[in-house]
Structure 1
Amino acid sequence: MVDIATRVYNHKWKIDPIVRSLIDTDFYKLLMCQSVFRNRPDTTVTFSLINRTTRIPLAHLIDEGELREQLDHIRTLRLSRGESTWLRGNTFYGKRQMFRPDFMEWFEALQLPPYHLERVGDQYELTFEGKWPEVMLWEIPALAVLMELRSRATLAHMGRFELQVLYARAMTKLWQKIERLQGVEGLRIADFGTRRRHSFLWQDWAVQAMQEGLGPTFAGTSNCLIAKNRDLEAIGTNAHELPMVYAALAETDAALARAPYDVLSDWHEEHSGNLRIILPDTYGTQGFLQNAPDWLTQWTGIRIDSGDPATGAETAIRWWESRGEDPREKLVIFSDGLDVDRIEALHRQFSGRVRVSFGWGTLLTNDFRGLVADDALAPFSLVCKAVAANGRPTVKLSDNPEKAMGPEAEILRYKRVFGVGEQERVEVVV
């Protein structure tokens, strides 16, 4: 096992590039990339970094030269033979050859496209523009780089013993969470923490701790590289990016209203079983389910990723019941802002009523809250989103208006088209 504190103290970053592989990314990104490669390969999309926690002055904390060096390194990465073999030959979600030969040939030749970086006040403006299948693969590594460089900026001023104690405390804190989860009967939980992790080495340690501490209760990790290296299941389905881009491409209000279902129609043709998970909150869960076609009721489950999670799950249960489905046979995946208290409470509330699963993110792989002065290692809310498609702005409404994004006029239009009224604001922690 890597001695993380010593590795950090030595500051030999050249042997520790933040992103060391094109598959050091979330599994759902590769699944979505294949779908985009098949269905919308020529769409031009722009991704942009958005720091929701504006009190964190990234441009003051992170040296621009270091940031460029890490981003430039990512552009040198190519799939290794072992990585390609793993993707081509492994069984994912019970399916062999999940990734089609034409997609793999394209991926094996891929170099991520150029980036645009500019300092604007206390923040960085970081954007990626190009063909959708290419630029979408910048999202996760870009976030990982910014998060880890912020961590490194704080750790660089710490001594050897201070670092040893810091990591000992962080390990103890995480292990205590795992010990609590050991008592949750029937728990199913996975690591979803790549995008806002403290560091790659720390995420890898956290995954190993979950493996040992939870055994078969631990379902796997969203991180493809760690899944490969640790012989774990790669976990993930789809994300808001798909309906956001499809919606931006819609020519009329009627086409806009259909766009979220067009996404899932394309997905339905490619995937079955536990990959058929609905993410309904991009333009409001209530309206999405109310207008959903009957074939979606046959899907395996729903992921709850914004708003009050219990309210979202109750809404899903009522929808299944109204369509003649037995909720006890359906899967609800909770994935928004989870920590142990909420995991325990949601499992108690819904176990037996639905099949419950959890995707544990930032507070698994980056909970250094309270461990250094001024809470300088506390996680914060940083995202990299598709902001335009073929020159048209994208919009996300969410079940929490704090997560909404897009031009105000377009937000109002989308609310009208999707029938979204007043929403309850919930603080976005991570």
Structure 2
Amino acid sequence: MIIQSLLDTDLYKFTMMQVVLHQYPAAQVEYRFRCRTPDVDLVPLIGGIREELEKLCTLRFTEEELAYLAGLRFIDSDFVDFLGLFQLNAKYVTIEPSAKANGEIEIVIAGPWLHTIMFEVPLLAIVNELYFRATCPDVGLDEGRARLRAKIAMLRDTPGYENARIADYGTRRRFSRDWHEEMLGILRRELGAQLAGTSNVWFAMRQDLRPIGSMAHEYLQAFQSLGPRLRDSQTAALEAWAREYRGDLGIALSDVYGLEAFLRDFDMYFCKLFDGARHDSGDPIAWGDRVIAHYEANRVDPRTKTLVFSDSLDIPRVMTLYRHFAGRCLLSFGVGTNLTNDVGPQPLNIVIKMTRCNGQPVAKLSDSPGKSMGVEDPDYIAYLRRVFDLPPSAL
């Protein structure tokens, strides 16, 4: 059984789910799977994915897990009570070979947002682990351990980077659950305070680490349907977040419509209200320079705000960004696949993204064209471009 706890997911699933429970419990959504790695045959895995899905749907939160969640300052008691009754239901998930007959698979999750939001991360972890079991059954972890210790030494032992801290963001694309847990234990022992925490709530509880996360793309995408009008959907999402958390969990995601559209909406009010912003596509140095200039233009000291970098980071990239921005703002780095799936074989680039909310298409148009989702509906994409004044490069 690959997933052994409903806590084995990213913190932002819980923080978004609490907003859904309190403010949008009737919302209906659809998610779709995509493998961005070319020439990968996932069809032989379908039976195994279905079996693991059925096992996932037998899990319930334990009393120990509920007590842990209740101890997080931003989790409300009524949400914990709801989670005490919560169980995933496989009826909301279909897994089939793609009609293209090219080795791709279709995973579609459709149903109430409140009851489907927890499928994404464990399903991606299941696909990854089954794939590597099937294609690399004899791969040991010695190579991964050696690579990990080289990364640790680079960050820990290079003068000038004593205050550079990283967090694990790699649950969705990990090589295996066991390697993920071992990797975090090594980081915890070897990096000490330079390990800021992990996005994975189960390992945060088991290894006494800080759980890290706020919002994901699906949250802002949903407001394309939930908001008062499309043009105001980004500000409506940020307002709803502020109503829920009253200043806590204040890292805003900046790339659902690209940086230009984000900065148009992220006015002085949001600059002062939110603790910072997260980068997840496009040139990170250009992004950070623009965000810092935006804070300054809105009479906010950027040294009091946190810039979070989380796009395909490795340790050399972390160090480059730290060197460029240190002293100009507060910094946080989320490293994913390069920590949890750098053991030898090429990692898979797989995602599950929201594609509809309340029957309406929703899309992500990031600053990295390959990371956009929802492009299957060209009419809707054209509409988004007009409404948010997006250049063609945003697609």
Q: TM-score, normalised on structure 2?
A: 0.94
What is aligned with 1:412?
A: 382
Match of 1:389 in 2: 357
Contact 2:258-2:394 at 8 Å conserved across structures: no
**Counterpart pick for 1:112 among 81, 88, 95:** 88
Deviation readout 1:90-109 (Å, 9 max, x if unpaired) = 2x3xx2xx322222222111
Deviates more, 1:173-182 or 1:122-131: 122-131
2:255 alignment partner in structure 1: 281
Structure 1 residues 212, 274: CA separation in 2 closer, same or farther (over 3 Å shift)? farther
1:78 maps to which of 60, 67, 89: 60
Superposed CA offset, 1:162-209 (max 9, x none): x4xx31111001110011010222112111010111111111111111
Check whether the contact 1:284–1:418 (CA below 8 A) recurs between aligned residues. Answer: no
Map 1:209-220 → 2, pairs under 5 A: 209-220=186-197
**Per-residue CA shift, 1:76-126, capped at 9, x if unaligned?**
0000111111111x2x3xx2xx32222222211112122111112212211
How big is the shift at 1:272?
A: 4.8
Correspondence 1:423 to 2:393: yes
Question: What letter corresponds to residue 204 of structure 1 in structure 2?
Answer: E
1:56 is displaced (CA, Å) by 1.5
Asked if 1:319 is matched to 2:300, the reply is no
Q: Deviations over 1:17-67 (max 9, x none)?
A: 11111110000110000011111110111111111223212114x2x3222
Following the alignment from structure 1 to structure 2, what is the Cα–Cα distance between the partners of residues 361 and 194?
7
Q: 1:345 is matched with which residue: 320, 324, 337?
A: 320
1:208-250 Cα shifts (integer Å, max 9, x gaps): 1111111011111110000011111111111111111111345
CA distance in 1, matches of 2:193, 2:225: 41
Residue ranges of structure 1 left out of the alignment (5+ in a row): 1-16, 372-376, 426-430
How far residue 274 of structure 1 moved from its aligned partner, in angstroms, is 5.8
Give SS of 1:76's match. coil
Structure 1 position 291, deviation (Å): 3.2
SS for the counterpart of 2:119 is: helix
> Within the alignment, does 1:142 sit opposite 2:123 as a pair?
yes
2:179 corresponds to 1:195:
no
Tell me the residue number matched to 1:12: none
- Return the alpha-carbon distance in structure 2 between the equivalents of residues 173 and 110 of structure 1: 39
TM-score (norm 1): 0.86
What secondary structure sits across from 2:171 in the alignment?
Answer: coil
Q: Percent of aligned positions with the same letter in both sequences?
A: 36
Moved more, 23-32 or 114-123: 114-123
Q: How does 1:170-181 map to 2 (within 5 A)?
A: 170-181=144-155
Against the structure 1 CA distance between its residues 128 and 291, is the aligned structure 2 distance closer, same or farther, given a 3 Å change threshold? Answer: closer
Please report how far the alpha carbon of residue 270 of structure 1 lies from its aligned counterpart in structure 2 after TM superposition.
2.2
Give 4+ residue runs of structure 1 displaced > 6 Å after superposition: none
Would you say the 8 A contact 1:248–1:395 is kept in 2?
no
Distance 2:265 2:197 in 1: 33
Letter in 1 for 2:35: N
